[in-house]
Structure 1
Amino acid sequence: MKIKLMALAFTCCVVGAAQSDSKKIKEDFKPSTKNQPGKEYPQVNSQGYARFRIEAPAADSVRVSLGLGGRGGTKLEKGEDGFWMGTTEGPMDEGFHYYHVDVDGGTFNDPGAKNYYGSVRWESGIEIPAHDQEFYALKDVPHGKVEQILFPSPSTNTSRRAFVYTPPGYHKDQSKRYPVLYLQHGWGEDETAWSNQGHANLIMDNLIAEGKTKPFLIVMTYGMTNEIKFGGLRNFDIKPFQTVLVDELIPYVDQNFRTVADENHRAMGGLSMGGMETRTITMNKPGVFSHYALLSGGVYSPDDIKKEDVKLVFLSCGSKESPERIKESVAALKSAGYNAVGYISEGTAHEFQTWRRSLYELAPLLF
């Protein structure tokens, strides 16, 4: 992964009170699905524009900063009632976005929106409805469970947290054993990201209900990535997390859940910096996993693969990232005899809609 990818794509600029005819905004705004209960703002419309309304009667300046790290911004205008309002200059990509509010230089969350851990802090979240949102929608199908576990970590002298998705039926049939996907978050996020922002559990529930994937467990833990500053990837040491994952978490999961405890039934994947972790660990420990997945997290060359019988190499990114790198890597891996699959999320960048779609494409290929 290259850290510069993290800064892509979420940028939204200053609102214009007057829009030209070519940028006519439809006034069909509705509250975002990520709003706090009963809150009317922020709102989104059918074109993908977002509108914000912040109460700050004593403020001199209010701006909404969207995206990982809060780059870019939408300047709000103050009304006589003390509320500041504004609309993004252009439509945003489909899916989930982080944002926060800058009030006179201070950073705050929007009281109208729910909070999600990203950018190494709890950020406000907004959802731009996607044309394909059905695959992660909450439906009337059998649901799995996402449960928190605390596992001992002698290497860090503490107990660490992970979340485990168990598929529908796991707790009924006590004889069945399952493969496991170890799925990592990106920089600035934590082990809650794939469930809260990514809807990994709903994606799996829907795929299983449709008979499109085999049931398997997903284990999500903190990648110990946020101790380095944004842009400081060169300073990240994989060894402490590699020890936690391989020597502590995997044995704990195999002992406490009904897994098929061998490398052929164990996969690792991650988004962005979690992809970098996946790439490094699968290269360092080729006998632990048999399925590899990098979601906007770099690529492999044939020489990187240290395991001849690796069952799957899955590479993905958004069409607004570096799709040619994915295509070139997949072609090279296939030429070398590996089962490599590439996926490009159309119309998205370094963001959760890319990774939701990537998981949806990946899951049926596993195990």
Structure 2
Amino acid sequence: MHGLMEGSTNLSPFQRPTSPNDSLRSVLLNADKKLEFKIYAPMAEEVSVTGDFPNGFPGIALKKNYLGVWSGQTENEVTPDIYTYDFTVNKIKTLDPKNTLVKESLNGFSNLVEIEGKENDFQTRKDVPHGRVEKVWYTSKTLDGAQRRLHVYLPPKYDRLKKKENLPVLYLLHGGGDNDASWTTAGRANVILDNLYAEGKLAPMIVVMPSGHTGKEGFFMGAGPQQDPFCGDLLNEIIPFIENTYPVSNKRTDRAIAGLSMGGVQTLNTALWNPELFGYVIPMSTGYFSPNIKEIKENYADVMENEEINRFELFQIYMGGEADIAYQNNLNMMAMFDDFGIKYNYTNSEGGHTFRAWRRNLHDFAPLLFKKK
């Protein structure tokens, strides 16, 4: 007998009651061009959202309606871009269950939202030839046999490139809260490079995105490679591994290093102490702390006075405007470089200490790399 018994519902065993969450759009650009956030949390007592959208810190307190949906919007209009955001429900960081677009970072995941528009065109996935991103594991003897992961971007039509044995390499480093996946999630590095290749603006290159955190003690924003275990891992393990695994050049002029924030200091610590290894050096949103500048002047003047530093093909420093938390550190560092006669280029733009700035930095400097004079 298949009839309904008294007190039963019309739901089959495979159905569940409908809820406002079924059709909920958790983040969207509304008619006022403000970014609106929603999350279904009927039992919650407090919900907020933070992110790198304008005025995204300390965040937006959301309000609950009678259906249990919490909502709120930015105070100002939001320009087309890719933004990171995090919900906090009852003081617990909560991944948006309605959005599968995420950024992988050091301690978990954050959500991403992309707002279409001309300002976002350079980092929009298009119908162009695409490179591929490989997740690669290696053993680091320098880090006591640790199994380490890095990401490698191979250019479009990599398998058909001629003279692949001469490909140059960009080592692209992440910041303190990120990991080796961050440049290809929040950073959109592969998409940005794909589009530049399609426009004929790039020389073919391999991009290596390693993990800057090692699990060993070290002051990752200190002066000199001896303070940061990652620098030893990069020099002793990663670079030889890449040169033994991929068909790349080992010439100085075919090797670039760039990094943001913590990765910017790691870029400086690696390249300034070993200038003969790199032709292109690009620190972003970074700078030595005042005690470290004092340490450099007192203990490493010979390093800063090395003539090889001024033989870089490009030494380009980027800053994300006065809102960048590293802004003053960077000014102090450049003043030190001036005292030592170190030549560099400087670009101060906007975006603060976020991937909104760093994606544009990559788009700006990548076409400058490995151009034959």
TM-score bracket, normalised by the shorter chain, equals: 0.7 to 0.9
- Aligned partner of 2:43 in structure 1 is 58
1:252 aligns with 2:241: yes
Asked if residue 167 in structure 1 is aligned to residue 155 in structure 2, the reply is yes
Q: Match of 1:21?
A: none
Distance of 1:48 and 1:326 partners within structure 2 = 35
Q: Give me the whole-angstrom Cα distance separating, in 1, the residues matched to 2:70 and 2:273.
A: 52
Structure 1 361/267 Cα, relative in aligned 2: closer, same or farther at 3 Å? same
- 2:119 is the counterpart of 1:116: no
> Aligned to 2:81, which of 87, 95, 110?
95
Matches within 5 A, 1:289-308: 289-298=278-287, 304=304, 306=306, 307=308, 308=310
Q: 1:325 to 1:246 in 2, by over 3 A?
A: closer
Instruction: State how 1:29-40 maps to structure 2 within 5 Å.
Output: 40=25
Q: Which residue of 1 aligns with 2:188?
A: 199
Instruction: Tell me which residue corresponds to 1:43.
Output: 28
Which residue is 1:18 aligned to? none
Identity %: 31
> 1:62-109, CA deviations, whole angstroms, 9 ceiling, x for partnerless residues?
1112249x8412111111111111112234565333332222222212
Note the 1:1-367 alignment, pairs <5 A: 40-45=25-30, 49-67=34-52, 71-92=57-78, 95-113=81-99, 114-118=101-105, 120-129=107-116, 131-156=118-143, 157-173=145-161, 175-176=163-164, 177-224=166-213, 233=221, 238-298=227-287, 304=304, 306=306, 307=308, 308-319=310-321, 320-321=323-324, 322=327, 329=334, 336=341, 338=343, 340-346=344-350, 348-367=351-370
Provide Cα deviations, 1:273-309, integer angstroms capped at 9, x if missing partner: 1111101111222222121001112389997363242
Q: Is the 8 A contact 1:96 1:128 kept in 2?
A: yes
User: Residues 152-187 of structure 1, C-alpha deviation per residue, up to 9 Å, x if partnerless?
Assistant: 211221221111111122211353321100000111
One-letter code of the match for 2:82?
F
Superimposed CA distance per residue, residues 38-67 of structure 1 (whole angstroms, 9 cap, x where no aligned partner): 862211247652211111111221111224
1:285–1:328 CA distance, 2 compared to 1 (3 A): closer
Determine the C-alpha separation between the residues in 2 that align with 1:148 and 1:161.
Answer: 7
Q: Which has the larger radius of gyration?
A: 2
Q: Which moved more, 1:273-282 or 1:201-210?
A: 201-210
What is the CA distance between 1:148 and its match in structure 2?
A: 1.3
What is the Cα-based RMSD across aligned positions, in Å? 3.5
How far residue 221 of structure 1 moved from its aligned partner, in angstroms, is 0.7
SS in 1 for 2:134: strand
The TM-score, its normalising length taken from structure 1, stands at 0.78
Structure with more contact order per residue of length (Cα contacts < 8 Å, sep ≥ 6)? 1
